[in-house]
Amino acid sequence: MDELVSLCKRRGFIYPASEIYGGINGFWDYGPLGTALKNNLRDRWWRDMVKRPPLGPDGNEISIVGLDSAIIQNAKVWEASGHVGGFNDPMVDCRETKARYRADHVLCLGVKGESGGQIYAFIEGEDDSLAAARKKLNKYIKRDVADDELDTCALTDLSADELAITVGPDTKAVGTLTEPRQFNLMFESSTGAIKSEDSKVYLRPETAQGIFLNFGNVVDTMRVKVPFGIAQIGKAFRNEVTPRNFIFRSREFEQMEIEWFCHEDEAEQWFEFWCDVRSKWWQSIGLTGDNILMRKHDDDELAHYAKEGCGTFDIEYRFPFTFPGFGELEGVAHRGNFDLSRHQEFSKKKLSYFDQPKNERYIPHVIEPSAGLSRGTLALLCEAYTPDPERASKVYMAFHPSIAPIQAAVFPLVGKDGMPEIAHKLWSELRERWDVVTDIKQSIGKRYARMDEAGCPFCFTIDGDTASDQAVTVRHRDTQAQERIALDKISAFMAEHVG
């Protein structure tokens, strides 16, 4: 990860936010290449889900419409959605170091101390911290702890008495931890000039609620009929207790969400459909078979809105920091009719739907494929990162050509003999349709190396023969193979390989 983070900074993919002021934990800025990559991922999702959605289980076209709702909504929305009461993480603070931990993310090692009482040390889940916790226990009981003496449990399972004899990862003293407290993840702000309880608002923690709020508007103003979907891409904000792993868990991020409204009897079928569609979609943009899997949530992981018995599926990716395990990329949830029912109850506005063919009025059930755009961008970066000690750049980014931030580069071999003019003409033509750069500076080897790190799949080089044979050399990023191609065949080549 360190190498990837450093490449992202060096090549203009992602920078720490507010860097010149020392940064701000949990926030990131996307540089020119990162923005292009993220936008390509976003546009691809919009094209494949909204403009040209997949065919349904019966082979007929399904209908999905787009939405762009406000980030700040009436505060009652978040009471109805359950976020004010239920969107919490348990956290513990260390009084000595002021560090804060997600109590459900840390594991405790316990062992009987000299006086007979249990002593606990806690760790943050990685192998080396396990060893560190054990070392700490050895110190407290003044001998080596044997494997069969160890007792492992979650920090959240400890009683107050047990917490009082727990030692944190960076402290010397025992008992510096506070009891776990529930911490609401929503960012608060206020509207208007006077700040009071009544002016309190929240930054949305998910884009989904904006969709539920507009369900009635969309049904009334568009010619949609259940089953149909509403899609939205946008920013979401969560005051995560422990933002970490680069852009994997940040406090400001983007989501790509679909709320699929259907009849309760058909929900199970649509749930299967969306799990299948969404996992294939990630594969279609280059996340290969072994690194991606579908996982059903354990019952105790269910979100407050998930329908009991149906659960949620995660589409997970094997990130370097989760290896050999996987981390969530997208959740496909069966939300039942929880959200529309709650908004109907809290707003007192009817949100039921009259289904003409079925001659039945009901509140539709919802299947929700909810993907992280920021997390998806990280998965693409991780998947693309390919060390290759043999080449000048030592590493190349093997993006799928269709989502690469630069899809082709056009280079004049040298800046004379008419080569820059031919390069400029070709670049102007190709950029009408693709993301193409041109560059005249430095040796051709250095220019190729730069494009390898940027993940550009094809470089077209105009050389001394081009003016006479009307052909250029195309260099393939992954194999470094070079071949001659006619100038008037380049567009067709790009259409075939990039799309």
Binding site for ligand GAP (CB under 6 A): 206, 208, 238, 240, 249-250, 253, 255, 257, 328-331, 368, 370-372, 374-375
Other beta carbons within 10 Å of 349 = 10
**Closer Cβ to ligand GAP, 68 or 147, answer by number:** 68
Closer residue to ligand GAP in complex, CB, 177/208: 208
Report the C-alpha gap between 179 and 185 in whole angstroms.
Answer: 18
Q: What distance in Å separates the CA atoms of residue 308 and residue 198, rounded to the nearest whole number?
A: 35
CB of 238 to ligand GAP, least distance (A): 5
Determine which helix (DSSP H) or strand (DSSP E) holds 440, and give its type and residue range. none
The letter for the amino acid at 240 is E
Q: Which of 362, 364, 375, 390 is nearest to 315 (CA)?
A: 375
Q: How far is the CB of 335 from ligand GAP (least distance, A)?
A: 8
Q: Write down the least CB distance from residue 204 to ligand GAP, Å.
A: 10
Closest distance to ligand GAP from the beta carbon of 86 (Å): 12
Measured at the CA of 481, the angle between CA 408 and CA 38, to 5 degrees, comes to: 30
Q: Which is nearer to ligand GAP, 40 or 255 (CB)?
A: 255
Q: Which residue is nearest to ligand GAP (CB)?
A: 372
- Report CA 466 to chain centroid distance, whole Å: 44
- Residues 461 and 443: their CA atoms lie apart, in Å, by 12
Say which DSSP state 61 is in.
Answer: B
Closest distance of CB 250 from ligand GAP, Å? 5
For residue 381, give the nearest of 16, 48, 18, 6 by alpha carbon: 6
Which CB, 124 or 330, lies closer to ligand GAP? 330
CB of 255 to ligand GAP, least distance (A): 5
Q: In the complex with ligand GAP, which residue's Cβ is closer, 120 or 260?
A: 260
How many whole angstroms separate alpha carbon 380 and alpha carbon 286? 8
Instruction: Determine the Cα–Cα distance for residues 378 and 498; give it in Å rounded to an integer.
Output: 21
The helix/strand/coil state of 89 is: strand
Q: CB of 240: closest distance to ligand GAP in angstroms? A: 5
Beta carbons of 271 and 296 less than 8 angstroms apart: no
**Closest to 270 (Cα-Cα) out of 369, 200, 139, 176:** 369
| Cβ closest to ligand GAP, residue 295 vs residue 425 | 295
CB 124 within 8 A of CB 105: yes
Query: Is 246 or 427 the residue whose CB approaches ligand GAP more closely?
Result: 246
DSSP 208-222: HHHHHHTHHHHHHHS
Q: How far is the CB of 330 from ligand GAP (least distance, A)?
A: 5
CA distance 206 to 273: 23
- Shortest Cβ 185–ligand GAP spacing (Å): 9
Q: Closer to ligand GAP at the Cβ: 238 or 307? A: 238
- Residue nearer to ligand GAP on the CB measure, 182 or 443: 182
Coil, strand or helix at 236: strand
